[in-house]
Structure 1
Amino acid sequence: MNPKLYFYYWYIRTMPLRKQFFFPKVLGIEETISEIVNHKKSISRFGDGEFRLVLPNENLKFQEENQKLTERLKEVLTSNLENHIVAIPESFHSVKAFKLNVKYWWMNFMNKFGNQLSPYFNKKKKYGNAFISRFYLDYKDKRKVENTVTRLKKIWDKKDVLIVEGEFSRLGIGNDLFDNSTSLQRIICPSKNAFSRYNEILEQTKKLGENKLILIALGPTATILSYDLAQAGFWAVDIGHVDIEYMWYLENAEHKIPVKYRLVNESIGQTIIDLPENLEETYNRSIVYKISE
């Protein structure tokens, strides 16, 4: 059967299931970035991984199930701070902008988990768009991507930046993504089960993040960390995956290819991730604190 015909056949057959799910309102990518830039709002992003951890008996390759983590994610998801945005996938509101296989994937996810997640959403609330950092690969129309990248770079333009990331994430290494920042430092965290070191991560981020824009790429831990930092008066943006998406954009990738110098959980056939000498020196110089597993 033609893939498009199969999709619409499947769409009609599963319609009764979708009618039970409340579709929350989600801002566009541009609107979400504008809230961050113009109002210095922090943001916590929920993707399929964070939602799986909210539900019982689910876990991720890089973050084992943890009851405290689950409770904290629920707290963030239902929070309502003035200086903080809760962001969820655009696909929870509409899948029309996405490629066919992506539409199918998200609709299948919502059919499976939507009814369990519905109680956590506020019908009167507009959520931020979690795809501010997944702006390229899954979309059919790529014409807005360059503009999105320009808008994203305004977040850290002429800012002193502290990146809190997992080992081997290496945001901005080997590309120009953060070249317009004033300065850039890093806290390196465990690449797996980072939440087990959460107290130390939070303490050091507060200590080293004074008067800085804090960018976080740390899976579900980033979702919680951004929220806690916002409560404490810091400006923290959960921006995980933005660097990978940017590299795919530069490579004109059509699927999730490996990215040099980084560990990419979603790609197959990962290449060597050792840094060349010149980049290793730049990277090591930017590290101000390292938290071991």
Structure 2
Amino acid sequence: MAFKEKLSSTFYYYQWVLQTRKLRQGFPRYKVMPVEKCISEIITGRKSASRFGDGEFRLLFPEHYLEFQENSEELRMKLKEVLAGSLSNHIVCLPEQFCSFRNFDINTKYWWKNFINHYGKRIAPFLDIQRTYGNAFISRFYIGFKDKSESRIKRTVNTLKRIWDEKDILIIEGRYSRLGIGNDLFSNAKSIERIICPEKHAFRVYQDIYEAARFYGEDKLILAALGPTATILCHDLAKAGFWAVDIGHIDIEYMWFLRKATEKTPIPGRHLNETEQQESLDLPEEYAENYIKSILLQIPRSA
């Protein structure tokens, strides 16, 4: 982008911020831990974590749905239960932008300020200004940040990898998520096993997923990448005494970093709901054997 275009974009952004500031008045600045602090809480306290992003907040309201997750009364009730929960072994994670915008690029600032413009007053009743929340961006550490330097990203990734260092992990993911396939994200784990779930509308078979997680997740660290279903699952597993972390998007963010991407781009072999284009979902042959060996169970779609 030419300097003149950058200047124009920056000028437009700050002009827009001033014009829309009244829409954000009354939306509190919540207490959200820095990414490093949140990861430390997960490790040292052996705490489960559930992440709320824009999709989870939209699904609190019956008129909204996501392309990959339909809405339902049960889903809304479960999401509200997670937000209101106060388990000692569980962290509710909010977007960092509910506390501060300083670490993010203009496009990300604009997107989240606009989200607050439209939804801030509606979601505020579900949140507690006195509470300290975890950081939902523990798994969104690259795209959207101003600082995309290799040193910062590697430092964050190495901190994240401490969560599963030398641990037996159970990954609960969508059919085309394929966490860690084709990269070294989980190379320091003791072992990796997987439960494969429907890539769309996973909450339809929530009870099957929950029961499978309990059956196969004993004495393991459970990592869930399954949209709003993972948000709910990690809370319910924490209630049952399991260690479960909602880690969705971590693999895609890491792949974007490895490719030095400057915007959200398709990744071969991965399903992406945040890009207009989609690369082939075929699994590269060199990774197929290890991936298939790691699968304990595939949960079928509900009719």
TM-score range, shorter chain: over 0.9
Q: 1:71-112 deviations in whole A, cap 9, x for unaligned?
A: 100110111110000001001111121111111110000010
Q: Which amino acid counterpart does residue 206 of structure 2 have in structure 1?
A: Y
In structure 2, the partner of 1:127 is 133
In structure 2, the partner of 1:195 is 203
| Unmatched runs of 5 consecutive residues or more in structure 2 | 1-6
Number of aligned residue pairs: give it.
Answer: 293
Give me the whole-angstrom Cα distance separating, in 2, the residues matched to 1:9 and 1:266: 27
The question of 1:64 aligning with 2:73 is answered no
In structure 1, the partner of 2:31 is 25
Among 174, 179, 183, which residue is 1:171 paired with?
A: 179
The question of 1:145 aligning with 2:153 is answered yes
Contact 2:62/2:72, CA 8 A, preserved across alignment: no
Aligned residue for 1:259, secondary structure, equals coil
Among 248, 261, 264, which residue is 1:253 paired with?
A: 261
The question of 1:155 aligning with 2:158 is answered no
Give me the whole-angstrom Cα distance separating, in 2, the residues matched to 1:21 and 1:55: 18
In structure 1, the partner of 2:53 is 47
Contact 2:62/2:73, CA 8 A, preserved across alignment: no
Runs of 4+ in structure 1 over 2 Å off: none
TM-score, normalisation: structure 1: 0.98
Superposition deviation, residue 202 in structure 1: 0.4
Give me the whole-angstrom Cα distance separating, in 1, the residues matched to 2:293 and 2:182: 15
Give me the whole-angstrom Cα distance separating, in 2, the residues matched to 1:277 and 1:8: 48
TM-score, normalisation: structure 2: 0.95
Give me the whole-angstrom Cα distance separating, in 2, the residues matched to 1:28 and 1:15: 25
Aligned residue for 1:14, secondary structure, equals helix
Q: Which amino acid counterpart does residue 178 of structure 2 have in structure 1?
A: R
Q: 1:89-139 deviations in whole A, cap 9, x for unaligned?
A: 001111121111111110000010000001111111111000000000100
In structure 1, the partner of 2:231 is 223
Quote the sequence identity (%): 54
Superposition deviation, residue 26 in structure 1: 0.5
| Unmatched runs of 5 consecutive residues or more in structure 1 | none
Among 79, 87, 94, which residue is 1:88 paired with?
A: 94
Give me the whole-angstrom Cα distance separating, in 2, the residues matched to 1:262 and 1:4: 33
Q: 1:136-184 deviations in whole A, cap 9, x for unaligned?
A: 0100012421110000000000000000001010000111110100000
Contact 2:89/2:238, CA 8 A, preserved across alignment: yes
Give me the whole-angstrom Cα distance separating, in 1, the residues matched to 2:13 and 2:274: 24
The question of 1:37 aligning with 2:53 is answered no
Q: Which amino acid counterpart does residue 75 of structure 1 have in structure 2?
A: E
In structure 1, the partner of 2:189 is 181
Give me the whole-angstrom Cα distance separating, in 1, the residues matched to 2:242 and 2:209: 14
